[in-house]
Amino acid sequence: MKKLDYEIIKNQFNKKIFENSKTDLLEKLSKYPSRYVGIFRPTKPYTKIIQNITQSHEIKFGDAFEVLIRQSFEYYNYESILRNHRLDNNDAVSFDQLFSYNGRTIFIEQKIRDDHDSTKKRGQIDNFEKKLNFLISKNYSNICSYFYFIDPSLSKNKNYYLSEIEKLKSFYNTEIHLVYGQELFEKEKFDGFWEEEIIYFLEKWKKDLPDLPEINFDLDSKETFEEIKNLSPQVFRCLLDNEDVVNIIFPIIFPKNETLLLLKEHFYSLSKKGDVKSRLYEKLYEKISNVLP
């Protein structure tokens, strides 16, 4: 019997990774249009849009995995405790995972893979130490820390991390482990969990994924409209004022103009409200009317 509910985890994964992809793309288009339509690019706009969306999904995959790891530990009755705090200097600190279990405090700093360059690996250790120092200074009890890489196939900086962790263990006199893949679950005695739950979930989830993301946003124009309608007037202005975006990008992502027509109605409605923003939406209504045939 499975310990994790596949459908629940899948929905959470998909929400973390794919939600707001359209909003993210339009915001980037408004700020950096030349990245998509500039002549000094080895890719055509269609390919660049695909690349942008897939890169965004890769980044958000790490956020989704935080949910999966958290639910895995909670299944074994580890209690999630407050992860967002303020340091004494008022800087924010956020823990990937923080649990209480049988009188222990479990702190997990997790990354997808160990393939970073020298600058980033140093920053990761510094960030880990900052969080560890916070826990110790606030008298969290019996701390066990993990510096965790989910993908066990890459361990580029393993020797470096082992060396730095030994220094931290000596200085702070606390338990710290560098772990990859299944090693985290073995340390906490979740017997068979990695293969039976984590690997099973990923293999099944990836079978449900399309080969490429869908970039015809008009396929579900109402859903697209609901996602993007609350973008700032500045974003819409930048998009509608850029001829390359309008003439090259819009035909790719809005080929039937269905979403744009819904936005036009939306701008018109907001332009009649008589509030401070009305004039802005009146201008946007004029701009999008000029764009539509």
Question: Which residues in 255-292 are b (16+ Cβ under 10 Å) and which e?
Answer: eebbbbbbbbebbbebbeeeeeeeebbebbbebbeebe
Q: 69: which 2 tokens?
A: 């790891």
Residue 2 in this model has a pLDDT that exceeds 80? no
- Could you say which architecture CATH assigns to the domain 77-189? 3-Layer(aba) Sandwich (3.40)
**Residue 91 pLDDT level (bands cut at 50, 70, 90):** confident
Confidence of residue 191 (pLDDT cuts 50, 70, 90): very high
Average pLDDT score over the chain? 94
pLDDT band, residue 74 (cuts 50/70/90): very high
pLDDT band at 3 (very low <50, low <70, confident <90, very high): confident
pLDDT at residue 200 greater than cutoff 80: yes
Average pLDDT over every residue of 176-205: 96
Instruction: Work out the burial of residue 100: count CB atoms within 10 Å of its CB; fewer than 13 is exposed, 13-18 middle, 19 or more buried.
Output: middle
pLDDT in tens, 234-258: 999 999 999 999 999 999 999 999 9
* pLDDT at 275 (0 to 100): 86
- 16-68 tens-digit pLDDT: 999 999 999 999 999 999 999 878 888 899 999 999 999 999 999 999 999 99
How far apart CA 193 and CA 191 sit, in angstroms, is 6
Identify the residue whose tokens are 């340390």.
187
Domain boundaries, given as residue ranges, for the chain: 77-189, 216-293
